[in-house]
Homo-oligomer: A and B are copies of this chain.
Amino acid sequence: MKTKTATFFDLVRPDLLEVEARMLFSQYQHHPSLNEAIEHLLSSGGKRIRPILVLLTSGMLGANHEESINLAASIEMLHTATLVHDDLIDGSMLRRGIPTLNTKWSPGATVLTGDYIFARAAHLASTIGSKELMKIYARTLMTIVNGEITQLFNAQIIDPHQEYFDRIYAKTASLFEMSTEGAAILSGSKSEVIDAMKSFGYHIGIAFQIVDDVLDFISDQEHVGKPVTNDLRQGLITLPTLYYLEANPEGDKLIEKLRQREMDDQGIERLIDAIRSSGAIDQTLEQADRFVSAGEEMLDGMPDTPEKEALHELAHYVIKRTV
């Protein structure tokens, strides 16, 4: 039996193969280890949800095929580059079930490989030749990196909800937003359409990260490809924890204690169990649901095409997925 997930994927499968090939191909002769690294990083697969967003939006709005492939490949490479540096900084050992680059290579080689992938991503984007796109591209990279720096410096937080949404915007939604906005720009659509598709990407991206943060609580390691409930153990407070602690009169104090890594392991384990069995998980998923619905509203005026249907399916997949 075919699932809904398979349907939206089927529509872009041939294009996705082209995207993969574009990511692996370089016209330049560079150090062979760089290509090996890129092959290793891409071999893990990944959901390719950002390229799919580009391809479906492009298909729906009639953007140039070649440019769409380049944009999709470029965005996935930019995403890959940020993951290489992230995993190095966090000391992560696994990503999507395969060893991270930093477990195989020296820190120096890992930094440089990330830089190289940034450059390859920028080169792919530059071949499209859209001034507007390059600006958004650079701005999105600034947003992503600024989010990581802000998280790293871990300053006192005034509003934990605001901090959470700012963080997941920088980490995830900004690149989803760029995928749909970029594809709409390529199609030469008028600005209402571009703005609406940007908003669709934003809402789906926020929902995607909220669900990711829920999966960190409820999945087992085998499914997610990395150890779970890592967030809280690393002092990272996500929406389930915020909802759970809001009901607690000591909530604010506990949040600051968690952020400053002042809670002992036993306390954290007890808290994780409590959150898992509380209503906070469902409350969080309902919030994700609202973001998906708001995103789908943006598709209302779009051309009735199979791609539009697929974008609706993708939106539902984002909240129904278990990995």
Q: B30 touching A146 by the CB < 8 A rule? A: yes
Of the four ranges (under 10, 10 to 19, 20 to 34, 35 or more), the interface on chain A belongs to: 35 or more
Asked if A92 is an interface residue, CB under 8 A from chain B, the answer is no
Give complex CA distance A228, B71 in Å. Answer: 46
Q: B149 touching A113 by the CB < 8 A rule? A: yes
Q: A31 touching B150 by the CB < 8 A rule? A: yes
Given A119-B138, A119-B141, A141-B115, the answer on whether A31 and B126 have CB atoms closer than 8 Å is: no
Q: B142 touching A137 by the CB < 8 A rule? A: no
The smallest C-beta distance from A9 to any residue of chain B, in angstroms, reads: 30
Q: Which of A23-51 contact B (CB under 8 A)?
A: 28, 30-31, 33-34
Per-residue CB contact flags for chain A residues 84-128 toward chain B (1 = under 8 Å, else 0) read: 010011000000000000000011110111111011101101110
Given A126-B135, A127-B135, A131-B126, the answer on whether A31 and B153 have CB atoms closer than 8 Å is: yes
Give complex CA distance A125, B134 in Å. Answer: 9
Asked if A145 is an interface residue, CB under 8 A from chain B, the answer is yes
Q: A111 touching B88 by the CB < 8 A rule? A: yes
Asked if A139 is an interface residue, CB under 8 A from chain B, the answer is yes
Give complex CA distance A139, B123 in Å. Answer: 6
Asked if A249 is an interface residue, CB under 8 A from chain B, the answer is no
Q: B89 touching A111 by the CB < 8 A rule? A: yes
Per-residue CB contact flags for chain A residues 149-175 toward chain B (1 = under 8 Å, else 0) read: 110110000000000000000000000
Q: B137 touching A33 by the CB < 8 A rule? A: no
Chain B residues with CB below 8 A from A148, complex form = 112
Give complex CA distance A31, B166 in Å. Answer: 12
Residues of A within 8 A of B (CB): 28, 30-31, 33-34, 82, 85, 88-89, 106-109, 111-116, 118-120, 122-123, 125-127, 129, 131, 134-135, 137-139, 141-142, 145-146, 148-150, 152-153
Q: List 9 A-B contacts (CB under 8 A).
A: A88-B108, A89-B107, A108-B152, A113-B149, A125-B134, A126-B137, A129-B131, A129-B134, A134-B134
